[in-house]
Amino acid sequence: MEDLLEIAGKKISNRLFIGTGKFASNAMMKKALEMAQAQVVTVALRRVDADSKTENIMDYIPKSCQVMINTSGARNADEAVRIGRLAVAAGAGNWIKIEVICDNKYLLPDNLETLKAVKILVKDGFVVFPYMSPDLSIARRMAEAGAAAVMPLGSPIGSNRGVKTRELIEIMIKEINLPIIVDAGLGKPSEACECMELGSAAVLVNTAIAVAEDPVKMAEAFSRAVYAGRLANLSGIPATKKIASASSPLTGFLKDKI
């Protein structure tokens, strides 16, 4: 039986979502998306220009991909809502990653302003994916407001520091009845695998792929790691123990021969 993630009626088999920023070229980005067989990609609205006489990033995104517009640059709920409405007007669809950041040093999301935007955009008919600092109470409010998923950060955007918020993400996975998609800070495929082993529904990666020496191979590596982590989670990972437990019997055979 195929393992699918269903969101807003769309069935997704590849649980690696990929961001489209920081690639050396749109052509390189397209190759990476194709190699990873990506099905969901995020795009900042400011990079979408249907009237451009040169390059339009949307021309390089495979037609099979679901585009999720990112409200990157929004400093409050009003700006995020405006970006979302502009995205629909530009024909970019109604899937939206809400990213509200007013902290210029660590680029941490403003959870309260994000929640405000969730409430408004859900009512407007958007499929809403809020990017947030892991917080159980806020995540619950986002779920109650109608978010399609919640996207807690693993560590600060572009830091490649891995899953520094692991314990908080584990709590959210156990307590929130929505897909948990870890977004931001994952630097290695093994870290994406770790998130999936915990029970995350998906992960979103951009920087670690885009700035790798070989983004295309790195995209493939992340895709395989996400699959491996998901398979491990579904298989039932054995509990850890504080003492040793032999893989083979230590008594009987040798004793009988002595």
Residues facing 95 on adjacent strands: 127
- Please choose, from the candidates 95, 90, 24, 88, the residue with its C-alpha nearest in 3D space to the C-alpha of residue 60: 24
**207 three-state secondary structure:** helix
Tokens of 227: 């699959």
**179 three-state secondary structure:** coil
97 catalytic per annotation = yes
The strand pair at 16-19 and 40-44 is best described as: parallel
Work out the end-to-end distance of the chain between its first and last CA atoms, rounded to an integer number of angstroms.
51
Q: How far from 108 is each of 17, 65, 69, 78, 244, CA to CA, in Å?
A: 20, 28, 19, 18, 41
Tokens of 220: 């493939």
Task: Tell whether the torsion through CA atoms of 123, 113, 182 and 185 is positive or negative.
Answer: positive
Contacts of residues 59-62 at CB distance under 8 Å and 24 or more positions apart, as own/partner, are 59/26, 60/26, 60/27, 60/29, 60/30, 61/20, 61/30, 61/33, 62/30, 62/33, 62/34, 62/38
Q: How far from 142 is each of 13, 120, 178, 231, 251, CA to CA, in Å?
A: 25, 11, 10, 28, 56
Exactly one of 10, 30, 63, 97 is catalytic; name it: 97
Q: Are 179 and 169 in contact (CB under 8 A)?
A: no
Active-site residues: which are they?
97
